[in-house]
Amino acid sequence: MGNSSSRRPASARRDILAAGHVVPELSRCVQCGICTFNCPIGIDVRRHAWLGKHVVDSHCLTCGECVKRCPRGVLRFERLKLFKEGDE
Amino acid sequence: MTRHVIVGTGVAGMSAAATLRTLDRAAEIILVSEDPHGFYSRPGLAYYLTGELPEKQLYIYNKKDWQDLNLRHVRARAANLLPGEHRLDLGPAGALTYDRLLLATGSTAVQLNIPGADLQGVVKLDDFEDTRGIIRLARRAKAAVVVGGGVIAVELAEGLTALGLEVHYFLRGDRYWPNVLDEKESRLIERRLAGHGVVLHHRTEAAEMLGKRGKVTGVRTTKGETIRCGIVAVGIGVRPRVELAQAAGLATERGILVDEYLQTSAADVFAAGDVTEVHDPLTGSSSIDTLWHPARRQGEAAARNMAGQRQPFRRLAAVNVLRLAGVMTTIIGSVGSGTDDDLVSVARGSSETWRQLPNTIAMESGAEINHLRLMIGETALVGALVMGDQKLSLPLQEMVATRMDITPIRDRLLQPEAPLGQIVMDFWSTIK
């Protein structure tokens, strides 16, 4: 992966696609289900949020629909730590 | 085998049931409620109204979830509680004995007390059927009047606008939600509402609902003006549903009084959620939250105590995330004070602590929509309001909740025109 100091948005997005996942913030969630409804491949994002689990699902496209549509800012992307610092 | 009976299938009751199941695989867990819809996202009703969600999406548990948790749902009205006999009467549906009982009866919308308030077309946004009813009525109505304050009134205004109606929003005072928002914030929300087509009427109160053949046709204001409409939507607050507890002789004030273990004045009877008035031994006061997350936490805490673990419930700084006229807003801790004429009781989706502001200095920064207000105490932040960009919500939530010492940045925060967000972010990154 590229040097983080010169990383451009496109490569940042590539990183998310490669190593990011969606993380819910339990205290903001009211289980409305907009996330699940808008997931193009039918992942039950809401259930992850209810259980306080990160959306670590091999089918997740990290397309960002759930993050974007959530009316309460519950969801965010976080990088998965697949490699140790310095491995990149 | 222990029998736990839970009255109510809202988030407090259901989180209690799920927690009980993790603590006791064998216990019998019975949920009692009249609501035919069982467990659904009540805050999500606002998004069903705007058309962002189909109604079937609102259900949180499906049949399999109920089966997996081995929960029994008795659809009946809890008619009478006899705590001495450990018995709950269900009227025609019989009676249930219990070892432990949880009252999670929630709260209910307050009705407007003016002539014509019982006409068809006078609606509230309180439960599933209310919302279905509004959508049905909106097919024929051309205009609607919204009365009230807080989150629900704005959700009604937004929902009715999305349904294609001309919406008139009555505010009794000079601005929207004056005891939680400051003037700049109120005006921002009002401008956004107006931009979405909502007609705001300040210093306006409904005096009478006008009707024909039992249906609402308009509202006459106290100024004598008449506005024609097919829907009057009321969001003036909610009241805890204490009747069952009161009739059983349990200690109640505005809500059911509980100690820090969420136990009521009756043996083996607990309470959680909107109906509960929780005593805080640290402050000596008691208060009501009508928020999803505290209700869930209370349900879980009550369950642990019902299962015999003696664990106190600790309140966190009250947080809610609201979407006000499209602006994502997080309210943390104490941010306002005083009263709001548009609400006759506690508003759904709010916390009383938001309005219990101690001695603080308010500092604001930010542009139009990305706006930040901090309530700065002697050594800690006591509250924060974040509008628009939510990057700072989580750090601020933790800073308020843990009463984090802000001495290193306090002077800088108090400088005129201080870039509050940057100062907080820099401070946060040195800690985390």
Give the residue from B276, B307, B338 where a domain finishes: B307
Q: Are residues B21 and B100 in the same domain?
A: yes
pLDDT of residue A5: 40
What's the CATH code of the domain at B350?
3.30.390.30
ipTM of the prediction: 0.88
* Alpha carbon distance B259, B269 (integer Å): 11
* Residues in Cβ contact with B302 at an 8 Å cutoff, skipping those fewer than 6 apart: B12, B16, B102, B104, B262, B270, B271, B272, B313
Question: Within a domain: residue B69?
Answer: yes
First-to-final CA distance of chain B = 47
Question: Within a domain: residue B312?
Answer: no
Does the beta-carbon distance from A73 to B330 stay under 8 Å?
yes
CA distance B151 to chain A (A): 13
Q: Are residues B127 and B230 in the same domain?
A: yes
CA distance A1 to chain B (A): 25
Give residue-wise pLDDT tens across range B191-218.
999 999 999 999 999 999 999 999 999 9
CA distance B331 to chain A (A): 11
Give the residue from B235, B264, B284 where a domain finishes: B235
Q: Are residues B357 and B423 in the same domain?
A: yes
In the predicted structure, residue B103 carries a pLDDT above the cut 90: yes
Q: Are residues B117 and B226 in the same domain?
A: yes
Amino acid, res. B243: E
Q: What is the largest CA-CA distance in chain B?
A: 67
pLDDT of residue B120: 97
* Alpha carbon distance A9, B214 (integer Å): 60
> Would you place residue B348 in the very low, low, confident or very high pLDDT band (cuts 50, 70, 90)?
low
Question: Within a domain: residue B177?
Answer: yes
If you search the block for the tokens 């867990």, which residue do you land on?
B29
Chain B (378-397) residues lying within 8 Å, Cβ to Cβ, of chain A: 390, 393-394, 397
Q: Any chain B CB within 8 A of the CB of A27?
A: yes
Question: Within a domain: residue B323?
Answer: yes
Q: Are residues B271 and B230 in the same domain?
A: no
Chain B (34-53) residues lying within 8 Å, Cβ to Cβ, of chain A: 41-44, 47, 52-53
pLDDT of residue B26: 96
- Give the angle B375-B381-B383 at the CA atoms, nearest 5°: 50
Average confidence (pLDDT) per 10 residues, chain A, 88 residues: 45 62 92 97 96 90 92 87 50
Q: Are residues B226 and B117 in the same domain?
A: yes
Question: Within a domain: residue B119?
Answer: yes
In the predicted structure, residue B380 carries a pLDDT above the cut 70: yes
Q: Are residues B251 and B224 in the same domain?
A: no
- Work out the percent of chain B whose per-residue pLDDT is above 70: 92
pLDDT of residue A1: 36
Tokens (6 digits) for A9:
């948005």
- Find the domain containing B144 and state its range: 113-235
B21-45 mean pLDDT = 96
Question: Within a domain: residue B377?
Answer: yes
SS3 category, B55:
helix
Q: Are residues B139 and B161 in the same domain?
A: yes
Give the residue from B235, B256, B289 where a domain finishes: B235
Q: Are residues B351 and B323 in the same domain?
A: yes
Q: Are residues B35 and B126 in the same domain?
A: no
Q: Are residues B17 and B52 in the same domain?
A: yes
CA distance B43 to chain A (A): 6
Question: Within a domain: residue B313?
Answer: no
Question: Within a domain: residue B407?
Answer: yes
Does the beta-carbon distance from B41 to A31 stay under 8 Å?
yes
What's the CATH code of the domain at B170?
3.50.50.60
Q: Are residues B386 and B333 in the same domain?
A: yes
Nearest to A73 among B53, B54, B321 (CB): B321
User: Cα separations (Å) of B339 from B18, B102, B231, B317?
Assistant: 37, 32, 27, 20
- Mean pLDDT score of chain B: 91
Structural contact between residues B425 and B392, judged by C-beta atoms closer than 8 angstroms: yes
Look at chain B and report how many structural domains it folds into. 3
